[in-house]
Amino acid sequence: MIVLLAASETVLSISVENNTEPEVVKGPEFTQLPQISDEDMLFLYKWMLEEYRLMKPKNAEEKERIDTAKALLKELIRTK
């Protein structure tokens, strides 16, 4: 099972005066989202792979990025 966590944004406040360190203001803590079943994850991976297959790359760099993502998705589907 894969557990997804949702996080709120962390805000940095930088003081230009006095060259002090940035002050980190934390948002709410992580909240756990409902777990996704293995069948749903497999369906999602297959859907993502199909969407990547429909993409038309504009240049060689984008084609390589898409091919890498497709290879990763194929590997994930095979291991399930």
Tens digit of pLDDT at every position of the chain (80 positions): 444 444 544 444 444 555 666 667 777 787 888 999 999 999 999 999 999 999 999 999 999 999 999 999 999 999 97
pLDDT value, residue 3: 44
pTM: 0.58
Q: Which domain holds residue 49?
A: 5-79
Name the region of 53 (left: φ>0; alpha: ψ -120 to 50; beta: rest).
alpha
pLDDT value, residue 4: 46
Total domain count, the chain: 1
